[in-house]
Amino acid sequence: MSYIRMFILAITFLTRIPISVKFDYNEEEFNKSYVFYPFVGLIVGVIIFSISFLSLPKSIMALFIILLYVYVVGGIHIDGIGDVFDGIFSARKRDRMMEIMKDSRIGSFGTIGIVLYFLSLYVGLYEIIGLDKYQYVILFMPVMAKFSIIIISGINKYARKEGSANIINLLTIKHSLIALIIMLSISYFIGINVLIAAFVSEIITILVVARISGILDGITGDVIGLANELASVSFIISYVVILNL
């Protein structure tokens, strides 16, 4: 099993970076590529970090960061927000919720969820721009979000029997603890406020996903997508709040 192949698979799965996969791979390689998710997050972070030094108004800079982020990663995780909102807020029985979440069409609740996500992200970025070490916070944001995928996957069970999210079946609490320790260690070296924000955002993400898991009797790829974006937004907003206490 080639680590280079798994790294390439992780990049092509999580981003729109134009890398051609010219080799055959199996489901095991694809699922185990999760070990490179934080490194892919670092690549995304570096790309966003590269424009954070431009001398632009805060509103324009926040907008550019969001546009660049969406361009690089596409809608793979954002789509999960819409699907989960449509399913959970439909207030139907569990099986019907799962059917709604698989529907490619977006409903009213999904639209509301995505709008709230972008609004929260914009406000958080607007407030953080110009603050102490904000460029490094932006750099770290997608990294900690990818760590969150591993953490969430390791402490929850999979709600379906098939699908790419079977990665959840490979991860255990041990993987979650290792990912959490590494993530918090990295954040500590950036700054104590970053460490606190990362910890708070992870707690928020874990609690929200636990509630969803209780309703669905497990999590799906859509829930993982929502967790990724929730971790990002709650991290940024937590950092702003901490600096203003």
168 pLDDT higher than 90: no
Q: Are 226 and 206 in contact (CB under 8 A)?
A: no
Per-residue pLDDT at 118:
98
199 pLDDT higher than 60: yes
Per-residue pLDDT at 25:
72
Question: Residue 232: how many CA atoms within 13 Å on its side-chain side?
Answer: 30
Per-residue pLDDT at 169:
79
H-assigned helices in 50-93: 58-73, 78-88
Q: Per-residue pLDDT averaged across 91-106, rounded?
A: 90
Question: Residue 37: how many CA atoms within 13 Å on its side-chain side?
Answer: 25
- Give me the phi and psi of 219, to 5 degrees please: -125, 165
Question: Residue 109: how many CA atoms within 13 Å on its side-chain side?
Answer: 13
* Mean predicted lDDT score pLDDT of the chain: 90
- Rounded to the nearest 5 percent, the helix, strand and coil shares of the chain are 75, 0, 25
For residue 170, give both structure tokens: 């490979």
163 pLDDT higher than 60: no
- Three-state DSSP at 158 gives strand
151 pLDDT higher than 70: yes
Angle ∠(73,77,82) on CA atoms, nearest 5? 135
Domain ranges of the chain: 3-243
**Helix or strand run (H / E) with residue 105:** none
With cut-offs at 50, 70 and 90, classify the pLDDT of residue 107: very high
The pLDDT > 90 percentage for the chain reads 69
